[in-house]
Amino acid sequence: MLKNSKLAKALSDVSISAFNTLLGYKAKYYDREIKRADAFYPSSKTCSGCGNVKKDLTLSDRVYHCGACGMAVDRDFNASVNLVKHLVGGVPTEFTPADMTALLSCFAKNGLVTSMVETGIQQKPLKFFSIDRIL
């Protein structure tokens, strides 16, 4: 397969396409939504702390150094934080102020946030974390 690079690329493209197709089927079956970032979104070139975009970042730079705020972080971790902020941060909330008060009081008591429980369905509590606390 290494001798025929076109065949190797074609097989690689097929396997990625098959994975995406199966993932789409599973998401539809479990009534979930798949969110994708734009291919040209600068997730690794954007500072996750201040939002400054570094234009001259190359693939050999494994640590992201921000010139604006001075933050130094692993490039892959920085990109993952930016993708979480980009994809999850833009989702409008469906909580009312009463729901938020209940969630915050639950978090203050035991450090866990649970989702609303439907009748007859047992749900596990979700561990709440803040991206700002990680950095």
Mean pLDDT of the chain: 75
Q: What percent of the chain has pLDDT over 90?
A: 21
Note whether 83 and 102 are same-domain residues. no
Q: Which of the residue ranges 12-21, 88-97, 125-134 has the most confident prediction, judged by mean pLDDT?
A: 12-21
- The 10s digit of each residue's pLDDT in 51-62 is 899 989 888 999
Beta bridge partners of residue 74, listed in sequence order: 63
Q: According to the model, what pLDDT value does residue 121 have?
A: 46
**Count of domains observed in the chain:** 3
If asked whether residues 75 and 48 sit together in one domain, one would say yes
Q: Which residues have CB under 8 Å from 50's CB, separation 6+?
A: 66, 68, 69, 71
pTM above the 0.85 mark? no
Judge if 54 and 83 occupy the same domain.
Answer: yes
Question: Judging by beta carbons within 10 Å of its beta carbon (0-12, 13-18, 19+), is residue 102 exposed, middle or buried?
Answer: middle
> Which residue range forms the structural domain that includes residue 119?
93-135
Predicted local confidence at residue 2, as pLDDT: 58
